[in-house]
Amino acid sequence: MIYCFQRIFYFWLNFLLFVVTESSVLLLSYSKPWKTTTDILQRKVDFSEMKYYCAPTQAAPLICQSCGTLSSPDGFLHPHRILDSTVLILIREGRLHVIQDGQAVTVGPGEYIFLFAGLEHLGERPSEGPLLYEWIHFTPPLGTFCTEEALPVQGSSFWIFPEHGWMPPSGRLLRLAGDVRAFLHSQSPVIPDGADYALTLLLMALMQEFSQTGADGHTVPPIVSQVAEWVRSHCHQPLTVSIVSRKFGYHGDYLSTLFRQSLGIPLSQFILRTRMEAAKSLLSEYGVTVREAALSCGFSDEKYFIRQFKKLEGIPPGQYRRLQETVHESSSS
């Protein structure tokens, strides 16, 4: 029975890896879309000088060495070190100030950074206030660093890890990072390589979403990035399009149109999804009640929160919370 389950599990995982790989190759091999990332982030990082790590893809999954969550109330300073593994960091809250290979980078909420194997990295300065992020150490595939102009041409099958980028508002990458952690900590004899496959899917999704962000050639206006970051920082408040637009001195319809053109969803949906991601984090990581999650994320009406949660996630928040509890219990056992 166990052997049969393993066969089925690995069949579907390999099928998913094949599908994502084929679609990612088409998306990741273009040179020009990567240039638009500078406009998307609108941060002080100069992407013309940013590092990319490129390596041929392979049939076997990448190897996850360790992973976890870092939570610091204040003043966290990243250690000074050179590792033989690559570290992927995904920021949930706060800002991480690091120097990699002599270049200072500040990584904020909703962003990620790769600290590459063999490169010196250290904290630039302590964090200000709370800091919360997911980290994953993995064995990098054999490859090399390249500039933006030297990225692989269309049709080639390569891993491409950008040093620094912005996570999409869907929360997909953070959920996949949670899957990696759950598989690794469970140490299930039924799925011994589960963490490796989950990591591979995470990295494929990261590259795919990174390339799609600028694939249409549109430049994201700076105001969209500013509003998006402000909404993430204030999603616990009862935000509306009217409140946000007044805060930034824009007409609500105009700002919503900018969001639709730039991110594919109107401002109202961006606000809702951001609040839902925060609520999911509270339900899964901190075990709060459905009512507490609703109130903490700006929903005064618990029934409205439940309806919207089910509409976006397919299941009510109570069921989502119980599923996450089951995952955590299996991870700790």
The span from the CA of 107 to the CA of 166, in Å, is 9
Task: Give domain limits for the chain.
Answer: 2-213, 222-332
CATH class of the 2-213 domain in this structure: mainly beta
Confidence of residue 1 (pLDDT cuts 50, 70, 90): very low
pLDDT of residue 64: 95
Nearest to 235 by CA among 280, 271, 286: 271
**N- to C-terminal Cα distance for the chain?**
22
CATH code of the region 222-332: 1.10.10.60
Residue 149 pLDDT more than 90? no
Q: Which helix (H) or strand (E) holds 13?
A: helix 2-28
Maximum average pLDDT range among 60-74, 94-108, 136-150, 248-262: 60-74
Distances (CA, A) of 312 to 126, 232, 317, 328: 37, 18, 10, 23
**Strand, helix or coil for residue 221:** coil
Confidence of residue 25 (pLDDT cuts 50, 70, 90): very low
pLDDT of residue 39: 31
Averaged over 286-300, what is the pLDDT?
A: 89
Residue 222 pLDDT more than 90? no
The span from the CA of 185 to the CA of 267, in Å, is 38
- Partners of residue 114 on adjacent β-strands: 88
The span from the CA of 161 to the CA of 167, in Å, is 13
pLDDT of residue 133: 96
pTM: 0.55
The span from the CA of 227 to the CA of 183, in Å, is 36
According to DSSP, residue 162 is labeled: E
Confidence of residue 329 (pLDDT cuts 50, 70, 90): low
pLDDT of residue 292: 92
**Strand, helix or coil for residue 307:** helix
Would you state the structure tokens that stand for residue 144, as one six-digit string? 């090399």
Percentage with pLDDT > 70 across the chain: 76
Residue 177 pLDDT more than 70? yes
DSSP code per residue over 242-267: HHHHHHHT--HHHHHHHHHHHHSS-H
Confidence of residue 210 (pLDDT cuts 50, 70, 90): low
pLDDT of residue 261: 77
* Strand ranges inside 12-157, DSSP E: 52-56, 63-72, 86-93, 96-100, 103-107, 111-115, 121-123, 131-139, 144-146
Averaged over 316-331, what is the pLDDT?
A: 77
pLDDT of residue 35: 29
135: exposed, middle or buried (C-beta count within 10 Å: 0-12, 13-18, 19+)? Answer: middle
H helices, E strands: number in the chain: 12, 11
Q: Cα-atom radius of gyration of the chain, to the nearest Å?
A: 20
Maximum average pLDDT range among 15-29, 47-61, 82-96, 209-223: 82-96
The answer to which of 146-150, 249-253, 269-273 has the lowest mean pLDDT is 146-150
Cβ atoms within 10 Å, residue 11: 10
Residue 201 pLDDT more than 90? yes
- Give pLDDT tens digits for 227-257: 988 998 888 888 999 999 999 888 888 888 8
- Give pLDDT tens digits for 54-95: 888 877 899 999 999 999 998 999 999 999 999 999 999 988
The answer to which of 23-27, 78-82, 99-103, 215-219 has the lowest mean pLDDT is 23-27
Would you state the structure tokens that stand for residue 37, as one six-digit string? 């990332």
Contacts of 114 (CB under 8 A, 6+ apart): 53, 86, 87, 88, 89, 161, 162, 163, 164
